Structure 1
Amino acid sequence: MRLLTFKRGGYLGLGCILGGEVLDLNRAFERHLGDSFKDVEGPFNLDMLSLLDLGSRGLEEARKALSGAEALKREGEAQGLYEEEVLLKLEEVEVKVPIPRPRKNIVCLGLNYVEHVEEARKRRGGSDLSLPEAPVFFTKAPTSVIGPYDDIIYPRATSQLDYEVELALVLGRRGKYISRREAYDYIAGYMVFNDVTARDLQRRHRQWFRGKSLDTFSPMGPYLVTSDEIADPMNLEMGLKVNGETRQRSNTGNMIFKPPEILEVLSAGMTLEPGDVIATGTPSGVGMARGPEGLLKPGDVVEAWIEGIGALRNRVVAER
């Protein structure tokens, strides 16, 4: 499934993509479409986090509703779904960030692609920067999150704005001391993530949090694509363009630390919960590696994409 958060007028909804349409899941659940939540009386007001909090049941009920809508469309009996606004045209809604406000900081990995480490080494004049022996974790503030088509604000606080395309994992189960063997069972789905960065602040403060956490610095989406839709998350083409020019191109298989090891290390002594977002690092091609001309400027359009998941398209706008 391709789950999304959408806005239509003043209504913020939880939905699922069905062809070129959006199935409003809360309205579908209230109709018990496809026998979804047949033992629960409405009204329903679930958002992405509360759906994930239900664990495997939440996703299963969403699949039932989706199957029910598909069946009615096949049989030519879906008119009622349109009349009651259970089914909407995709162009009639505004696609928002799948998780509008994560409960926790977004966990990110640094230096998790060999070619990015080599790129950083060259930038430092051939320093002895080596491949990490363990995952390098840092976090970004939840207030940095924006949607797949929202503007990235170029803040007055920086003069060196950069981009990083990444695969984001979204947790669907609570876990601690997660084994590598079971790790994928804890992943509800995947998103495209752009780890926008103020390079000057990143260097000045030495710890990366401030340079990574300014408002609008975490575009993600466009959908939460559930794990069953991705046959091999470690074999997805990915890339990023600025004004149509390809800047980054790689494959998720080039990660140094794959999701099973990431979850095993991160959950050792620390509880992970449904809705937690983990961005898994970026490949080579970041702006700073190209010198000052490679950095972002107001007016630029940044497109970050991952095969099978979708694309973000964000315009850079100067802060007023």
Structure 2
Amino acid sequence: MRLVTYLNEHGIQRAGALIESDSAIVDLLAAAEKITGNAIPEFASILSLVEGGKNALDAAGALVARAPTIAVVQRDMVRLCAPIQPPPQMRDCSCFELHLRQSFAAARRARVANEPNPEEALKLMNTRADDRVIETFNRQPIYYKCNRFAVIGPDDDVIWPSYSKVMDFELEFACYIGRQTKDVARERAREHIVGYTIFNDMSARDAQAREMPGMLGPAKSKDFDTGNVMGPCLVTADELPDPYDLLMIARVNGEEWGRGTTRDMRWQFEDVIAHISRSETLYPGEVLGSGTVGNGCGLEQQRFLKPNDVIELEVEGIGILRSRVIKS
């Protein structure tokens, strides 16, 4: 299934599933009421559906297959939220080594751009701090916790934060936890993934340059309202039998800026789940981002966004997450 959360005409979140090549949505609660005569609580939201487990998902699949006309709304007549907005928790991981290496290299080139001899200055630059990050990355999964209340969907604009002059997008793959787990082995971790989506981790690069030397991870470079864009849907795990063979493409105003593939994940979600769940409980609906795919942001090529740019992030099998960035 391709699960979505949308706002009805009263501005209330409703749980649904995309049908008819994503042109229409089956409202799950309305379908259940029509077919069974009952308002089934598991269909009140995508989060409650995920919390309901396999039985609830199977029941939802049966409703979608029948799709009573009274429960179908046209996609272009409603506003999509993120699949779960807000999620109970979210973490952004670093799973693509190429992105790290290219970002560090681009940042070093930027720092020496005004030197009399940039190439010579680049050769003399101390790279120990960057090397330590790569060493840590290859030793274990690394991640930070995001602001879950900054999550928005594909029909919302990203509001340019007032303190930034250098904005960037980041193309990420993301998974949703499907059931409560703790101390799970890697070999069993995929059983705890309910589905996948696309994540645009918007980043204020100038704020990031100022705060990262503090070595506590990103803060105001990532934490601002509308900074975490997710969608357009949650594709259930059965629809993506091999999540590690998906093409990923980033475009700005219709121009391709970069592409990569989930094959390049140094750490797969199973590795990340096994690592995070050590002595810590994960709950249904939590989100784990993959980190940026190599070539999946402007920083790697020293290109940045302008107000009113339209970002399109595509992941094979999921769709396109489209966002406009505006200044308020």
Does TM-score exceed 0.5, indicating one fold?
A: yes
Question: For this structure pair, what is the TM-score category when the shorter chain's length is used for normalisation?
Answer: 0.7 to 0.9
Kept in 1, the 8 Å contact 2:103–2:299? The answer is no
Deviation at 1:160, TM superposition (A): 1.6
The match for 1:109 is 93
Deviation at 1:43, TM superposition (A): 5.8
2:39 to 30, 42, 46: 42
Give unpaired runs (5+ residues) of structure 2. Answer: 109-121
Q: 1:270-296, CA deviations, whole angstroms, 9 ceiling, x for partnerless residues?
A: 1100000000111233212333xx111
Q: 1:187-227, CA deviations, whole angstroms, 9 ceiling, x for partnerless residues?
A: 01000000111122223222213211211111100000000
2:225 to 193, 199, 215: 215
The match for 2:315 is 306
Residue 41 of structure 2 is aligned to residue 31 of structure 1? no
The SS at the match of 1:49 is helix
Distance, in Å, in 1 between the alignment partners of 2:326 and 2:58 is 40
Distance, in Å, in 2 between the alignment partners of 1:272 and 1:162 is 30
Distance, in Å, in 2 between the alignment partners of 1:248 and 1:138 is 24
Q: 1:123-170, CA deviations, whole angstroms, 9 ceiling, x for partnerless residues?
A: 235724235111111121012111113111111111121111000101
The SS at the match of 2:294 is coil
Kept in 2, the 8 Å contact 1:2–1:16? The answer is yes
Residue 115 of structure 2 is aligned to residue 118 of structure 1? no
1:54-203 maps to which residues of 2 (within 5 A)?
Answer: 54-69=52-67, 81-82=68-69, 85-104=70-89, 106-110=90-94, 112-123=95-106, 124=108, 125=122, 127-128=127-128, 129=131, 130-131=134-135, 132=137, 133-203=139-209
Deviation at 1:30, TM superposition (A): 1.8
The match for 1:7 is 7
Give unpaired runs (5+ residues) of structure 1. Answer: 70-80
The match for 1:18 is 19
Distance, in Å, in 2 between the alignment partners of 1:67 and 1:246 is 36
Give the letter aligned to residue 144 of structure 1: A
**CA RMSD in angstroms, aligned pairs only:** 1.7
- TM-score normalised by structure 2 residue count: 0.85
- Count of aligned pairs: 296
Q: 1:62-93, CA deviations, whole angstroms, 9 ceiling, x for partnerless residues?
A: 01212233xxxxxxxxxxx33xx312222222
Kept in 2, the 8 Å contact 1:162–1:199? The answer is yes
Q: Percent identity?
A: 32
Distance, in Å, in 2 between the alignment partners of 1:21 and 1:100 is 20
Kept in 2, the 8 Å contact 1:138–1:209? The answer is no
Distance, in Å, in 2 between the alignment partners of 1:170 and 1:115 is 24
Distance, in Å, in 1 between the alignment partners of 2:13 and 2:293 is 34
Please list every run of at least 4 consecutive aligned residues from structure 1 whose deviation after the TM superposition is greater than 6 angstroms: none
Give the letter aligned to residue 98 of structure 1: P
Deviation at 1:7, TM superposition (A): 1.9
- TM-score normalised by structure 1 residue count: 0.87
Kept in 2, the 8 Å contact 1:135–1:257? The answer is yes
1:258-277 maps to which residues of 2 (within 5 A)?
Answer: 258-277=268-287
Distance, in Å, in 1 between the alignment partners of 2:9 and 2:84 is 19
Distance, in Å, in 1 between the alignment partners of 2:141 and 2:164 is 28
The match for 2:115 is none
Distance, in Å, in 2 between the alignment partners of 1:117 and 1:205 is 17
Distance, in Å, in 1 between the alignment partners of 2:54 and 2:219 is 33
Kept in 1, the 8 Å contact 2:182–2:278? The answer is yes
In proportion to residue count, which structure has more helix? 2
Distance, in Å, in 2 between the alignment partners of 1:240 and 1:252 is 14
